[in-house]
Structure 1
């Protein structure tokens, strides 16, 4: 066997393992579990951190104010230093829409050692404690729109399985060609890194959440010491899930049916969304970065390269083995494309998309070493202090 054949065989072995041994991450049937009405509907405080979100708030905030929830619920929008009139718009929308009570507050610039979002969440949670007897918190981003029954179904799910944290990966927008190419793959790669079935195992070690939609039991938040315990986290949703699980809480994560992101994603915005946290995910380790780049190249780039090389050089084994790995890769991506209602012809392009994500990961490390850290909406966050 040639060198290409051996490398292609390694890629095929990796894909067989991913297909069968990585929690069936490629399946998209993890939705809210079977649910029943609770004997008593618990009170809920909805906390929405918002920084310069006037462009999306008209579609997201009314969906929260008009939630069809049988219990008591109140919305707290925390304006994190916006300069585009986010707070004023929120007041106008509440006056026009009516519905659930809305409080708009501004905590000021975050204290040293806090990310802006978690500083806003901290302020929202404090307000909820002062003004309500909320038993659950719905932490949701300002670009997330909820169907009228979203909160009711989240609470039904949490109470039915006695979960401390229930999170749904919102369906991201896929309207432009760039979004169709990049967005489904983002969720696919997230599920590969944090297989939902592993997250949902009682007592499992894998922990993750999707920050756009998290229903959190107040008692579990207090037990885990959040958000203070995760105040420096750039990947705050995963850090939150880990904190809850570490203190004995039960967590659940799945794909959404009633929760959608209304944020438009342009190429530069999507690039920043990934690159701002990729190196943090690798714990700022050059060794892990090199290993990740090599692993991505083997798994995603070798199969098409071996297929083409085998065809051009007459190396039948390399071409067949590489083609088999590429076929498995393509098939594993089809369920996610169906979930996003996209053409299956995008599936063979997954190696190209993976190459873009590889470049985003490298760029994340480069920006960190240039001192720019995780830059987002005018703020830059460096590496967390040791022990955080």
Structure 2
């Protein structure tokens, strides 16, 4: 199985490659030209061999730290945005030089979560990337850190890369970092062994996943595994390895860890809701609502909700939970947490008559909902 999957990566007509900040920067946080050049060499070779290559690159904030005199990655959003503004130009300039040595042109594409989850934005983003590829350009994609808010962030470029792979129907995803593979225990622990392939979720449940990212990055092994799950859920084989092994991974060699595709391609919005959102609360729903949401493709209405838990605002992600405690779905809620208790159990037509037409709406619309579990009883 592993050989077949790696052959598929080697033969992929379109491959998305994600690189983390720590793989591009030196010990003091600034860009390391040698590392940027080595990565560009590997990707250029694949592009010149006939494949489309899309690079999802972290590093803008890290690249802006040195010019701004910052010793550590800033924690507050405003300073992160400022560092990204300064560093984004430096990052793209470095890629322009490195790929230019191979006669290739790069083009910058900055995305927010809306750009791969809202239909209108989704179509525009896909069209732009496809046109760049048709023109022979290597798209360099990053989250638009200069304008993204906490509410609309991917949180890390691992998830962004997985959603981009789905967006453009890529044939493979390669996640590069400072770790060469997934191990069955922290790599620094004696006796830890590399896991060469992950064929299903059962393999991951036996793994002790540690690490929360480097001093200049936001990711870690958890986010990379989540990204692999997003991609493989969309049918995209995924390789996790170090930047130093990029060329070997693209060639289908036995390096890193390869994750096998799982199932069919759901919508980008469903993938985002399932894997890239953090629920801000819970809605406990009755059996009728569970059936309507999970089996009949219906929206969640106030009448089916028994209890509200958490502090959330309209537009936040919430989990829909049955009365036994099983999370059956996740969706974007249309009400603030403080509004909902007085609406529970009521028909939407009744609410419209007593409170006004604005209340004749779903709590979670079916277009903004993904099913996580279907009860067998």
TM class by smaller structure: 0.3 to 0.5
Higher helix share: 1
Alignment TM-score, normalising by the size of structure 1: 0.31
Alignment TM-score, normalising by the size of structure 2: 0.32
